[in-house]
Amino acid sequence: MVAALTNESATSKSVYFAHCTSEMIFITHLLAEEPEKLAGPLLADTYVTLLKGRNAWYGQMLAKGELSRDMGDSISGKGMIQGVSAVGAFYELLSQSSLSVLHPEGNKPVAPVELCPILKTLYKILISREKSSQAILQALRDETLNDPRDRIEIAQSHAFYRPSLLGQP
């Protein structure tokens, strides 16, 4: 999506990749007792997904207007675009009212999804359809967006693991 909206800008893709990976690292620290074991596979999957996979293709086609969100996430010749349902599932999971983490600014409890602005924006584009594809660029340009390094530092320096998220005691 970002590539199509920015005419393949390497800088924009890099900023997007940094934010996405930092959010995935944050989420992994919530879901896995030993998140560092997922670092390599997570990074590899993120790279392929964002740059050349079906999800990247789908985002580019949406951004170019060659596909409509009304067409769904099962596309003839491509199969199921899993990123759409993944965005919905992670958004719902991290929005649970029973779950909170301390926001780095203000030091008050918030739902974990509040620390994942790219996930929130993708949800508004792909699931609730409140925003157009252009919203992803607006999110990346938002000066109040936490630095991806800060999100990773928060995840690594706090005991975030929540076994209850995956139904574990």
**Residue 107 falls inside a structural domain:** yes
The 10s digit of each residue's pLDDT in 33-58 is 888 777 777 777 777 777 778 888 99
Q: What H or E segment, with its residue span, contains residue 147?
A: none
Radius of gyration in angstroms for the set of CA atoms belonging to the chain, rounded to a whole number: 16
Of 91, 169, 81, nearest in space to 124 by CA: 91
Per-residue confidence band for 130, with pLDDT thresholds at 50, 70 and 90 = very high
Q: Cα(155)–Cα(153) distance, rounded to whole angstroms?
A: 5
Residue 135, pLDDT score: 93
Residue 153, pLDDT score: 79
Q: Which one is predicted more confidently, 48 or 66?
A: 66
**Residue 169 falls inside a structural domain:** no
Q: Tell me the percentage of the chain whose pLDDT exceeds 70.
A: 92
Of 103, 104, 112, nearest in space to 164 by CA: 112
pLDDT at 128 over 70: yes
Q: Please, are residues 81 and 73 in contact by the beta-carbon 8 Å criterion?
A: yes
- The structural domain count of the chain equals 1
**Residue 53 falls inside a structural domain:** yes
Cα 74 to Cα 66, 67, 80, 109: the distances in Å are 15, 12, 4, 37
Of 123, 127, 109, 140, nearest in space to 16 by CA: 140
Which stretch of 77-91, 104-118, 124-138 has the lowest confidence by average pLDDT?
Answer: 104-118
| pLDDT, mean of residues 157-164 | 67
Exposure string (b/e) for 78-100, b if CB count within 10 Å is 16 or more?
Answer: eeebebbeebbebbebbbeeebe
**Residue 31 falls inside a structural domain:** yes
Residue 134, pLDDT score: 92
Task: For residue 19, give every residue at least 6 positions away whose Cβ sits within 8 Å of its Cβ, in sequence order, or none.
Answer: 117, 118, 140, 145, 148
Q: Whole domain around residue 32: which residue ranges?
A: 1-163
Q: Tell me the percentage of the chain whose pLDDT exceeds 90.
A: 23
**pTM for the whole structure:** 0.85
**Residue 82 falls inside a structural domain:** yes
